[in-house]
Amino acid sequence: MAQYLLRRVTTIILALWLIITVTFLIMHSIPGGPFASEKKVPDVIKHNLEERYHLNDPLGKQYIDYLNHLVHLDLGPSFKYEYRTVNDIIKEGFPVSATLGSLAIAFSLVVGLLAGVISALRQNHWQDYLAMVLATLSFSVPSFILSGLLMYFFAYKLQLLPPAMWGTWQQAILPTLALAALPTAFIARLMRSSMLEVLQQDYIKTARAKGLSERVIVLRHGVRNAILPVVTYLGFLVTEVLLGSFVVESIFAIPGLGRWFVISILNRDYTVILGVTVFYSAFLMLMNFLVDLAYVAVDPRIKLVDRKDV
Amino acid sequence: MKKILLALMVLMAFVLAGCGGDRAKDTADKSSTTQLIRYNVDAEPKTLDPAKSTGLPDGTIELQMLDGLTRYDANQEIKPAIAENWDISEDGLTYTFKLRDAKWSNGDPVTAQDFVYSWLRALAPETASEYAYQFFYIKGAEDYNSGKGKKEDVGLKALDDKTLQVVLNAPAPQFLGLTAFQTYFPVNRKVVEGNPNWFADPKTYVCDGPFKMVSWEHNQKIVMEKNPDYWDAKNVKLQKLEIYLIENLDTSFNMYNNGQLDLMNEINAQELPALQGNKELKILPDASVYFYRFNVTRKPFDDVRVRKALALAIDRKALVESVMKGGQKPAYAFVPFGFKDAGGKDFRENGGDYFQEDLTEAKKLLAEAGYPDGKGFPKATIMFNTQENHQKVAEAIQQMWKKNLGIDVTIQNVEWQVYLDRESKLDYDIARAGWSPDYLDPMSFIDMFVTGGGNNQTGWSNKEYDKLVNEAKSTGDQKIRMTSMHQAEKILMDEMPVTPLFFYTHPVMIKENLKNVIIPPFATYADFKWAYVE
């Protein structure tokens, strides 16, 4: 177990280093720079700017300096918003994205699982058709269209909810729905097919033969087994959703982290590009790691063992 | 599964706890409807340190909180602000400003030393200010900024607490206007030296302007209230100002329609047709020009006849009426309307048009250049940065050239930074461009195209043109300056390294009960000093 953990952590660090290196190289090879503008500045001024941000150091030195700061958990200042460090940007943006993401995950888990189980139990009845039609719809409508539609109807037409910005619970409703639509649909379909499969299994028949109540069969034997694919998907979903969505955050004017993934690249804000990439990758790998651990808790057949024991 | 759910719940509780704080504030905002204006600047400011700010959001926000030596009024006249009056020497080189008794919001007096300190700070090489060049009119400023000269040699002196003397390199009639510009705003030395990030926190943002900052929620909004210590506070009627930092234009449009914004500075072009006839829509003038650059280092654009043929075969009226639809004016010269000529009349009106659309002439020129009816015309591409309107304009021009001249060009959209990079490397055939003035003078357009100028980017060079620009720059005599600039513009339009397409307009949505908001044509900021709600 200890060795397994050690191996995983080493892999994560190696992967992070690789990601940083590749991002660093690609980032510096695309045209443009953080101080490019339509109005050209005199060379003296360009020189002063580059001097200040060490952009005229050799690339190798910039790379080593970056790694050096990173080891001390210092992601550097943003080049565009110089009063904000990348650490600040993540510290301010991540909780917002994570709140919105958690709400969306909670919504999609509750609604998606429920819809999936009901569809499976009432296969080919109207409940099943309704749930699957809705799922297909939310699956195929892109989030920017859904966001726009939600805002148009609930904020503009009905004037029920605020159209944008962040801070009150009313403001969280529309973006949560926009963000949750796709995962809800996915979970519902995943759960439905997995549940249908499980319900065909012999051990369900055995349970029925033993005369267990339908509730126990569905919940303890059915759902617990059928939920495994959802757990796998959850690891992906958590990172995807908690770290924020550019589209939803920009449409609803939410000060989350998602927007920075895109904005920083458009700005060529080198430190922010690297910073959010590192944070994103670390978070992704950590979540995958946690999901692997979670399997052990959910599925008694899976055990963490060191390779030599196998 | 349980663990994950538990972890999720903990996480949720943790983040939820951190985000409930603003509820009380939001409801408070709704109740105070009087003398409050809500305005969207369309982006988070990059900085609020006037020495380093460059963008429109930064400048707009600073303008509400800081007062420079002068300030523009509603008629774009320069009016005294912190400077009560000033003296300009006979040779136009020495400016002596007499400061009034004004106070910083922390009670300190605003002194001439504050201005000397602030301007030198912006010029210091280690400050690395992008707009430091705005000071290069001042003697010794460029040398100091480039590390070649000393701080002491910059032509700036506080004769006493209330008298500031500035010495220029050469007469520059636009200098006075610059003293109203953000880079020239003063900062409080004590505050700045005590805390390099003073401008990032409302508590330490010591200001000398009409409003002071109350709160700043990043990427959301900045709230300001009237500054009671402002020297002209009796003329400030607005009690509160909320400046939103929302980037998405559709979102800000929805917020305006929902009554959450009172003034929209930028409107998505596709909304314009539906808004025609709406009383809240105002089409304001904008002294900016939309044009195409020709890369004169590439064939066939090295031939002036080809450039002219292409320019004469564009139907600019159709372009503004059926493509842009925002009330833009077709441009037959480079300098937009809105700049005063020597006699006080408009520079553009005096200069008039320099060319006319003429299909017969265009075909003739193209044939003379060796491409009769477009035969044998090399492959060429119009490059523009990704934006719906640029695409539409390029498509329309592509069709016009095909139909009128028999020429096939391709169009190509590239990301903003790639566009800037390729333009400055002369890696294009024809490139879309726009230009708005840095200061209220035609020179801001004319000096772009001097040989080797950083903003030339066409490869074009003309000795006579350079000479005229130089002449205009070295005299304080408005008549000579303006005549030289008119002549230079004529050369530019004869040679046509660029072809103007139209002069911009600035459509805004403004609630009808808002009065006295100043939105000048030379920069699309808004000044709320005199604004009020009726």
Mutate to test the interface with B, among A27, A48, A109, A233 (most CBs of B within 10 A): A48
Least CB–CB distance from B128: residue in A49, A268, A294 = A49
User: What number is the average pLDDT over the span A162-190?
Assistant: 92
State phi, psi for B265 to the nearest 5 degrees. Answer: -80, -25
| 3-class secondary structure, B224 | strand
Angle between helices B478-495 and B304-312 (to 10 degrees): 90
| Nearest CA-CA distance, residue A109 and chain B, Å | 10
CA distance B232 to B185: 17
Taking CB atoms and an 8 Å limit, are A106 and B8 in contact across chains? yes
Q: Round the CA-based radius of gyration of chain B to a whole number and report it.
A: 26
CA distance A78 to A59: 18
State the distance between the two ends of chain B, measured CA to CA, in whole angstroms.
60
**Closest-CA residue of chain A to B21:** A167
Among B194, B242, B212, B214, residue whose Cα is nearest residue B105: B212
- Exposed, middle or buried by CB within 10 Å (0-12, 13-18, 19+), for B39? buried
CA B55 to chain centre: 7
User: Residue type at A162?
Assistant: P
pLDDT of residue B32: 46
DSSP class of A310: -
Q: How confident is the model at residue B521 (pLDDT cuts 50, 70, 90)?
A: confident
Least CB–CB distance from B125: residue in A48, A53, A166 = A48
State phi, psi for B165 to the nearest 5 degrees. Answer: -115, 130
pLDDT of residue B16: 41
A129 neighbors A192 (Cβ within 8 angstroms): no
Indicate whether B498 pLDDT > 50.
yes
Indicate whether A235 pLDDT > 80.
no
pLDDT tens figures, B38-57: 999 999 999 999 999 888 89
pLDDT of residue B9: 44
| Nearest CA-CA distance, residue A249 and chain B, Å | 10
User: What number is the average pLDDT over the span A207-212?
Assistant: 87
pLDDT of residue B79: 95
What is the DSSP track for A29-71?
Answer: HSS--TT--SSPPPHHHHHHHHHHTTTTS-HHHHHHHHHHHHH
CA distance A143 to A252: 12
Residues 6+ apart with CB under 8 A from B55: B43, B45, B46
pLDDT of residue B280: 95
Indicate whether B186 pLDDT > 70.
yes
Residues of chain B contacting A253 with CB distance shorter than 8 Å: 219-220, 246-248, 251
Q: How confident is the model at residue A304 (pLDDT cuts 50, 70, 90)?
A: low
Cα separations (Å) of A60 from A64, A271, A272, B183, B525? 6, 15, 19, 35, 42
Among B186, B170, B166, residue whose Cα is nearest residue B88: B166
State phi, psi for B508 to the nearest 5 degrees. Answer: -130, 160
pLDDT of residue B268: 84
> Looking at the complex, does the CB of residue B12 fall below 8 Å from at least one CB of chain A?
yes
- Domain A86-309, CATH number (from 1.10.530.10, 3.40.30.10, 3.40.228.10, 1.10.3720.10): 1.10.3720.10
Mutate to test the interface with B, among A30, A40, A187 (most CBs of B within 10 A): A40
Q: How many CB atoms lie within 10 A of CB B518?
A: 18
Indicate whether B26 pLDDT > 50.
no
Global confidence as pTM: 0.86
State the distance between the two ends of chain A, measured CA to CA, in whole angstroms.
13
pLDDT tens figures, B82-136: 999 999 999 999 999 999 999 999 999 999 999 999 999 999 999 999 899 999 9
State phi, psi for B275 to the nearest 5 degrees. Answer: -95, -5
Alpha helix ranges (H) inside A166-269: 169-199, 202-209, 214-216, 224-226, 228-242, 246-251, 258-267
Please, what is the average pLDDT of chain B?
90
Q: Which two tokens stand for residue B110?
A: 């605003």
Residues of chain A contacting B199 with CB distance shorter than 8 Å: 83
Least CB–CB distance from B11: residue in A81, A102, A255 = A102
Indicate whether B148 pLDDT > 50.
yes
B336 neighbors B289 (Cβ within 8 angstroms): yes
Taking CB atoms and an 8 Å limit, are A48 and B133 in contact across chains? no
Least confident of A74-78, A181-185, A210-214, B183-187: A210-214
Among B357, B343, B310, B356, residue whose Cα is nearest residue B486: B343
pLDDT tens figures, B296-306: 999 999 999 99
pLDDT of residue B11: 45
Plot region of B138 (φ>0 → left; ψ -120 to 50 → alpha; else → beta): beta
pLDDT tens figures, A23-56: 999 999 988 888 888 888 888 888 888 888 888 8
Indicate whether B217 pLDDT > 90.
yes
Least CB–CB distance from B133: residue in A42, A166, A234 = A42
Q: Which long-range contacts (CB under 8 A, 24 or more apart) does B342-350 make?
A: B342/B478, B342/B479, B342/B481, B342/B482, B342/B483, B347/B442, B347/B482, B347/B485, B347/B486, B350/B486
CA distance A173 to A151: 11
Among B71, B133, B459, residue whose Cα is nearest residue B298: B459
Least CB–CB distance from A45: residue in B25, B133, B433 = B133
Taking CB atoms and an 8 Å limit, are A151 and B424 in contact across chains? no
**pLDDT more than 70, % of chain A:** 96
Residues of chain B contacting A297 with CB distance shorter than 8 Å: 1-3
Cα separations (Å) of B173 from B67, B99, B207, B436? 21, 21, 28, 19
Taking CB atoms and an 8 Å limit, are A32 and B421 in contact across chains? yes
Residues of chain A contacting B247 with CB distance shorter than 8 Å: 250, 253
Residues of chain B contacting A45 with CB distance shorter than 8 Å: 128-130, 132-133, 145
Q: How many CB atoms lie within 10 A of CB B275?
A: 13
Least CB–CB distance from B1: residue in A159, A231, A250 = A231
B366 neighbors B401 (Cβ within 8 angstroms): no
Indicate whether B28 pLDDT > 60.
no
> Looking at the complex, does the CB of residue B109 fall below 8 Å from at least one CB of chain A?
no
Least CB–CB distance from A44: residue in B145, B250, B254 = B145
Whether the upstream peptide bond of residue B300 has omega within 30° of 0, thus cis, is yes
Q: How confident is the model at residue A308 (pLDDT cuts 50, 70, 90)?
A: low
The residue length of chain B stands at 534
Cα separations (Å) of A206 from A12, A192, A210? 43, 21, 6
Mutate to test the interface with A, among B254, B386, B436, B455 (most CBs of A within 10 A): B254
**pLDDT more than 70, % of chain B:** 94
| Nearest CA-CA distance, residue A176 and chain B, Å | 13
Strands (E), B228-334: 240-244, 263-264, 281-294, 329-330
Q: How confident is the model at residue A305 (pLDDT cuts 50, 70, 90)?
A: low
Cα separations (Å) of B319 from B189, B327, B330, B361, B503? 51, 11, 8, 20, 12
Q: How confident is the model at residue A306 (pLDDT cuts 50, 70, 90)?
A: low
Indicate whether B225 pLDDT > 70.
yes
Among B399, B457, B392, residue whose Cα is nearest residue B428: B457
| 3-class secondary structure, B283 | strand
> Looking at the complex, does the CB of residue B21 fall below 8 Å from at least one CB of chain A?
yes
CA distance A268 to B22: 32
User: Residue type at A268?
Assistant: R
**Closest-CA residue of chain A to B132:** A45
Name the B residues in 423-462 with CB < 8 Å from any A CB: 424, 433-434, 438, 454-455, 457
User: What number is the average pLDDT over the span B352-375?
Assistant: 94
User: What number is the average pLDDT over the span B189-216?
Assistant: 94
Cα-based angle B92, B97, B99 (whole degrees, multiple of 5): 170
CA distance B128 to B130: 6
**pLDDT more than 90, % of chain B:** 77
A272 neighbors A264 (Cβ within 8 angstroms): yes
pLDDT of residue A307: 53
| Nearest CA-CA distance, residue B112 and chain A, Å | 26
> Domain limits of chain A?
86-309
**Closest-CA residue of chain B to A53:** B128
Indicate whether B274 pLDDT > 50.
yes
CA distance B283 to B327: 7
Name the B residues in 133-152 with CB < 8 Å from any A CB: 133, 136, 142, 145-146
Taking CB atoms and an 8 Å limit, are A82 and B7 in contact across chains? no
Least CB–CB distance from A297: residue in B1, B129, B247 = B1
Which helix (H) or strand (E) segment is B425 a member of? none
CA A271 to chain centre: 21
State phi, psi for A10 to the nearest 5 degrees. Answer: -60, -45
pLDDT of residue A221: 86
